[in-house]
Amino acid sequence: MPRALVIVLDSVGIGGAEDAHAYGDAGADTVGHIAEACTKGQGDKAGLRSGPLRVPNMASLGLGLACEASTGRMPPNLAPQGAVKGAWGYGVETSKGKDTPSGHWEIAGVPVVFDWGYFPNTAPSFPKELTGAIIAKGNLPGILGDKHASGTAIIDEYGAEHVRTGKPICYTSVDSVLQIAAHEETFGLQRLYDLCHIVRELCDPYQIGRVIARPFVGTTETGFKRTGNRKDFATPPPSDTILDTLTKAGRTVVTVGKIGDIFAHRNTGEEIKPHGNDACLSAAIDALKHLPDGGFVFANLVDFDSEFGHRRDIPGYAAALEAFDRRVPEIEAILKPGDIVVITADHGNDPTWQGTDHTREHIPVLAFGPGLETGSIGRRESFADIGASVLTHLGVSHVGKGASWL
């Protein structure tokens, strides 16, 4: 019986979304612009990397060809050298929004057809009623922030005052999100999680997609730094995803990284949540090694987005792509006959773009495995085609959105 692994390279978009103008993102192209920047020396960083973007393994799976199909341009150094080893194409998002739940839910067969709630880019951002309820139900002396902000900048701005007063730092962005930053030691990690549980319920009437715990450590003297103990508190998908379908069919499901959080821990099977891209990829590879026939591993590699996209760090993003690419042969080496792997993304986060937010883009769809037919699978009219194809490959009836290319 076949098995399946889907790896979401968080924010690794490939440009070209037709409705990008509606989001202020017309012309954004995460992979293409990184590749172009690297040829101009903008991806160079001493001790990290230099020169053109080097991702030969993903290029051989069709990454450059998918970029070219999406935007009409072949990014520098991404053309395959020799025969293409995978099935390649690009996906078009039909969901509203350009955030993590929208992309992942659609991949799993549930496009977002309703409007998320958002907080305005004003100061304060949050309604007085919500702020009052957070303070009262969280038994807090108050909150800090209450505005749109970068997660790293706002802890620099308010970290010392937070430690002194015990007031958590609450902020938002253009995404449907309320983020709460607090010091792991002086405020307490579990207390932060408990507060986020409270705020999750308070945000439901506002249609907010996620409440995110953003713990940090440090002092005024040493500086403040976020830790890997982030936790997302998401609203659950409105209907069954492929995770629900596979669980009901008795299949083994393993989710890696923040997948469990994104799907509100509903039928997310064994959840493994290491810190960092490399550790998450290692966990996904190990899970596939031990996965029973008919099983499914769903992994998210968040560092592309959180560490490099939002921070507009071109060299860091390029280095992360190259680091992942070097491990693609490791994935190929453990595949059994009948296995399928899909490498994809959930949205864009172009590090050359203005601002610090996600960008509305197409996503790559790179599928490979022993005996899998290679070549173009074309333009996929929904991310949900990925979930539909996984179910088809695993021999489970498909009841959600999307059309299988298999």
Q: Where are the domains of the chain?
A: 4-113+238-394, 128-233
Task: Give 350: exposed, middle or buried? Use CB within 10 Å, 0-12, 13-18, 19+.
Answer: buried
Output the pTM of the full model: 0.91
User: For residues 116 and 207, what is the distance between their CA atoms, to the nearest angstrom?
Assistant: 5
Q: Is the pLDDT of residue 1 over 80?
A: no
Average pLDDT of span 191-211: 96
Q: Is the pLDDT of residue 56 over 80?
A: yes
Q: Is the pLDDT of residue 377 over 90?
A: yes
Give the pLDDT confidence of 313-332 residue by residue, as tens digits. 999 999 999 999 999 999 99
What's the confidence (pLDDT) of residue 16? Answer: 85
pLDDT grade for 277, boundaries at 50, 70 and 90: very high
User: For residues 240 and 110, what is the distance between their CA atoms, to the nearest angstrom?
Assistant: 7
Give the pLDDT confidence of 62-72 residue by residue, as tens digits. 999 999 999 99
User: For residues 205 and 133, what is the distance between their CA atoms, to the nearest angstrom?
Assistant: 13
Question: CA 66, 69, 73, 79: dihedral to nearest 10 degrees?
Answer: 40
Give the pLDDT confidence of 289-314 residue by residue, as tens digits. 999 999 999 999 999 999 999 999 99
Residue 355, Cβ neighbours under 10 Å: how many?
15
Contact 96, 113 (CB under 8 A): yes
Q: What is the CATH topology of the domain spanning 4-113+238-394? A: Alkaline Phosphatase, subunit A (3.40.720)
Average pLDDT of span 163-190: 96
The separation between CA 306 and the C-alpha centre of its own chain, rounded to angstroms, equals 9
Question: In CATH, which of 3.20.20.10, 3.40.50.1360, 3.40.50.2000, 3.30.70.1250 is domain 128-233?
Answer: 3.30.70.1250
Contact 114, 404 (CB under 8 A): no
User: For residues 87 and 225, what is the distance between their CA atoms, to the nearest angstrom?
Assistant: 41
Radius of gyration of the chain (CA): 21
